[in-house]
A and B are shown apart, each in its own frame.
Chain A
Amino acid sequence: MRKHTSSGGDLHKHIISVRGLKKHFPIKGGILNRQIGAIRAVDTVSFDVESNKTLGIVGESGCGKSTLARLINRLIEPTAGEIYLQGDNILAWKGGALRRFYRKIQVVFQDPYASLNPRFSMFDIIEEPLRINNIDTKRLRRKRVRELIEKSGLSWDYRNRYPHEFSGGQRQRIGIARALALHPEILICDEPVSALDVSVQAQILNLLMDLQDEFKLTVLFISHDLSVVNKVSDQVIVLYCGKIVEMASRNRIFKKQLHPYAQALFSAIPKSSPHEQKERTLLNVEPPSPRHFPTGCRFHPRCPHAMDVCKKTEPQLENVSGSEDDFHRVACHLF
């Protein structure tokens, strides 16, 4: 176990706790089509989230953000590790328990064009979770769907329209309404605004934050867009090649990033004023192939401060803030 997981009692303090989660996708090849390697999409990830808070998960594309989301939502099975929901290991659940679990964790998907069935009307889409789980009578369901539609900023008059008749922002509102229909405790937002126009992004983010307060949601917010993460998160995790390289409260991490990768990533945020001088850290080398991660620290071939030890030993995630409450953990040999 990692250092920061001081005791098992911790698990009950947090609504969701992830411990040593791994997902390796096999690479097959050769004449016999045997496994000849693995893509370590998510590798030994551990973190906790407090109730009604938002955890931002950032990283460049291919770093394992979406795999992490799918693991937590149990759309794919992990290779190793545990996920606790209010202290219960959800990976042990099957059948009916798993179905009940689905009520507690819901997802807002990245692509509002692909995440809605083109043959379902808006009403069907939002009603489906209720119908599938036999919640309420038909009449009560109708009332609930209406509430959801209106809370999501959509018009009840459009209930019989099909997805292709809505704009991207409206579609994402439908996706949010569907996710909230079962009154989940945790909402995973997998790049919920990255497919939308910038002008619409803010509306959707505001909607999400309003609904978070109203439904007392805990949100896992996955994005590659740091300015969006800055707006919504309480805590931030930086992922690189399937591993957490840095983890801190939003205030801390946006003030000062410690890991060289995080520094490079955050330096790419556009500044709000053109007069502000920005120091950009540029990375020359391409990100490593997921089939062959470098030994030692996975970032060392691209790191401007790489030392000999970085090539050999993989750095552990350690708290450098000195305070357990407002921690700042980083996995780097520099600290």
Chain B
Amino acid sequence: MNAYFIRRLFLMLPTLWGITLVTFFIVQILPGGPVEQALSALRFGGGEMAEGGASASAAKIEEEYVEALKKHYGFDKPLPVRYYNWLKDLLVLDFGESYYYEEPVIDVIVERFPVSIIFGIASLLITYLICVPLGIIKALRHQRFFDYASSLVIFAGYSIPGFALLILLIVLFCGGSYYDIFPMQGLTSENFSELSFFGKIADLFMHMLLPLTAYVIGMFAFTTMLMKNSLIEQITADYVRTAYAKGLSGKIVIVKHALRNALIPIATGFSEFVSFFFAGSILIEKISGLDGFGALGYESLLNRDYPVALGIIVITSVTVMVGNILSDFAYTVIDPRIDFK
């Protein structure tokens, strides 16, 4: 079995190579790259110079400038060479330098960790502190009042896109038409550094509550239902009936037998912890003005900041793939019946 997972890890390499190939070429072939962006900025800003009589020399200056720009961004070399250089640097975890921020991509990405980690940890806490107990209660009270009542929330979670909910929450609670309780934008207030420790936590909480609610709502519904269905499946399994039949009380049967197995699908989700550092959502971060991973990816695409965009794509792909392998691995460790072959 270990041979299987080692092989899976090795098979990641060709896949990863395929991803770098596809994304690099898509990103580089598309029009509107950094050279063109810088040029249009120049034309827009330096309009007077171009109009000023000596158009021939202006054209020459522009040409030289284009060459310099190309050299600066490495566009003077042919595409395969650029790909080769980028890949070579990637092997030593050097993602290059951001065009836009003009600092190493790694630094730009690491700066965004605080928001991502808050998103990641919040979703973890919600999953284990709310979804699991709620799913268990729903399963035990299946088709009774509590189940139906809580299903309303679940269905809302399934059916409302998080970003739409966030807009409504902002309209309602951020001084739009009704209440003015929460700050509308950002991670912290301006006077954050002057606040006491608890003041800081309260400030963070006020800023993050609405975006976090919107961020986890879909996952909340999904995980709760997963827990509920998984437990119901276990409760109706033959071995649990046997446990009842041999005279064990309901509580013991559920805790000792059913729950342990029902937690398997949930527990394996934990293995995706690698993605915590890169959690985020383009829409929610954009709406709430948070500088997280999603917003960074979005900006880098719009600014044609290719090193950052490619770095993010590579990192997210790797975390997705490693997460998949780890969760399969966790399955085989927890559940001896499962054998990937």
Residue numbers of A with Cβ under 8 A of B are: 29-33
With A and B bound together, what is the CA distance between A30 and B4 in angstroms? 8
Q: Which residue of A lies closest to B10 (CB)?
A: A31
| Contact of B3 with A by CB under 8 A | yes
- Interchain nearest-CB distance for B38 vs A (Å): 49
With A and B bound together, what is the CA distance between A41 and B180 in angstroms? 77
With A and B bound together, what is the CA distance between A10 and B10 in angstroms? 55
| Contact of B6 with A by CB under 8 A | yes
- Interchain nearest-CB distance for A185 vs B (Å): 41
Q: Which residue of A lies closest to B7 (CB)?
A: A31
With A and B bound together, what is the CA distance between A30 and B7 in angstroms? 9
What 1/0 mask marks residues of chain B from 6 to 50 whose CB sits below 8 Å from any chain A CB?
110010000000000000000000000000000000000000000
With A and B bound together, what is the CA distance between A85 and B3 in angstroms? 45
Chain A residues in 8 Å Cβ range of B10 = 31
Of residues A29, A30, A31, A33, which shows the largest number of chain B Cβ atoms within 10 Å of its Cβ? Answer: A31
With A and B bound together, what is the CA distance between A30 and B6 in angstroms? 10
Extra 5 A-B pairs, beta carbons < 8 Å, given A29-B3, A31-B10, A32-B7: A30-B3, A31-B3, A31-B6, A31-B7, A33-B7
Q: Which residue of B lies closest to A33 (CB)?
A: B7
Chain B residues in 8 Å Cβ range of A30 = 3
Chain B residues in 8 Å Cβ range of A33 = 7
Chain A residues in 8 Å Cβ range of B7 = 31-33
Chain B residues in 8 Å Cβ range of A29 = 3
With A and B bound together, what is the CA distance between A222 and B10 in angstroms? 45
Question: Chain B at the A interface: mostly helix, strand, loop or mixed?
Answer: helix
- Interchain nearest-CB distance for A29 vs B (Å): 7
With A and B bound together, what is the CA distance between A32 and B10 in angstroms? 10
Chain B, interface size: which category?
under 10
Question: Chain A at the B interface: mostly helix, strand, loop or mixed?
Answer: loop
Of all A-B residue pairs in the complex, the 4 with the closest CB atoms, nearest first, are A31-B3, A31-B6, A31-B7, A30-B3
Q: Which residue of A lies closest to B6 (CB)?
A: A31
Q: Which residue of A lies closest to B2 (CB)?
A: A31
- Interchain nearest-CB distance for B103 vs A (Å): 41
Chain B residues in 8 Å Cβ range of A31 = 3, 6-7, 10
- Interchain nearest-CB distance for A31 vs B (Å): 5
- Interchain nearest-CB distance for B341 vs A (Å): 9
- Interchain nearest-CB distance for A190 vs B (Å): 27
Q: Which residue of B lies closest to A28 (CB)?
A: B341
With A and B bound together, what is the CA distance between A32 and B4 in angstroms? 9
Chain B residues in 8 Å Cβ range of A32 = 7
Q: Which residue of A lies closest to B3 (CB)?
A: A31
Chain A residues in 8 Å Cβ range of B3 = 29-31
- Interchain nearest-CB distance for B6 vs A (Å): 5
- Interchain nearest-CB distance for B130 vs A (Å): 42
With A and B bound together, what is the CA distance between A126 and B166 in angstroms? 62
With A and B bound together, what is the CA distance between A138 and B222 in angstroms? 54
- Interchain nearest-CB distance for B4 vs A (Å): 9
With A and B bound together, what is the CA distance between A29 and B6 in angstroms? 12
Chain A residues in 8 Å Cβ range of B6 = 31
With A and B bound together, what is the CA distance between A30 and B341 in angstroms? 11
- Interchain nearest-CB distance for A181 vs B (Å): 39
With A and B bound together, what is the CA distance between A271 and B109 in angstroms? 82
With A and B bound together, what is the CA distance between A29 and B7 in angstroms? 10
- Interchain nearest-CB distance for B187 vs A (Å): 46
With A and B bound together, what is the CA distance between A31 and B3 in angstroms? 5
With A and B bound together, what is the CA distance between A33 and B340 in angstroms? 13
With A and B bound together, what is the CA distance between A169 and B237 in angstroms? 34
Q: Which residue of A lies closest to B9 (CB)?
A: A31
Enumerate B240-278 residues with CB–CB distance to A below 8 Å.
none
With A and B bound together, what is the CA distance between A32 and B8 in angstroms? 10
Q: Which residue of B lies closest to A30 (CB)?
A: B3
CB-defined A-B contacts under 8 Å, sample of 8:
A29-B3, A30-B3, A31-B3, A31-B6, A31-B7, A31-B10, A32-B7, A33-B7
Q: Which residue of B lies closest to A29 (CB)?
A: B3
With A and B bound together, what is the CA distance between A106 and B225 in angstroms? 50
With A and B bound together, what is the CA distance between A31 and B6 in angstroms? 7
With A and B bound together, what is the CA distance between A9 and B3 in angstroms? 52
- Interchain nearest-CB distance for B243 vs A (Å): 33
With A and B bound together, what is the CA distance between A30 and B10 in angstroms? 13
With A and B bound together, what is the CA distance between A31 and B10 in angstroms? 9
What 1/0 mask marks residues of chain B from 195 to 207 whose CB sits below 8 Å from any chain A CB?
0000000000000
- Interchain nearest-CB distance for A36 vs B (Å): 11
Q: Which residue of B lies closest to A32 (CB)?
A: B7
With A and B bound together, what is the CA distance between A188 and B7 in angstroms? 42
Q: Which residue of A lies closest to B5 (CB)?
A: A31
- Interchain nearest-CB distance for A64 vs B (Å): 23
What 1/0 mask marks residues of chain B from 146 to 162 whose CB sits below 8 Å from any chain A CB?
00000000000000000
With A and B bound together, what is the CA distance between A32 and B7 in angstroms? 7
- Interchain nearest-CB distance for A37 vs B (Å): 15
With A and B bound together, what is the CA distance between A32 and B3 in angstroms? 8
With A and B bound together, what is the CA distance between A149 and B175 in angstroms? 80
- Interchain nearest-CB distance for A260 vs B (Å): 37
With A and B bound together, what is the CA distance between A227 and B134 in angstroms? 61
With A and B bound together, what is the CA distance between A29 and B3 in angstroms? 8
With A and B bound together, what is the CA distance between A250 and B3 in angstroms? 50
- Interchain nearest-CB distance for A25 vs B (Å): 15
With A and B bound together, what is the CA distance between A325 and B236 in angstroms? 64
- Interchain nearest-CB distance for B263 vs A (Å): 32
With A and B bound together, what is the CA distance between A32 and B6 in angstroms? 9
With A and B bound together, what is the CA distance between A29 and B10 in angstroms? 15
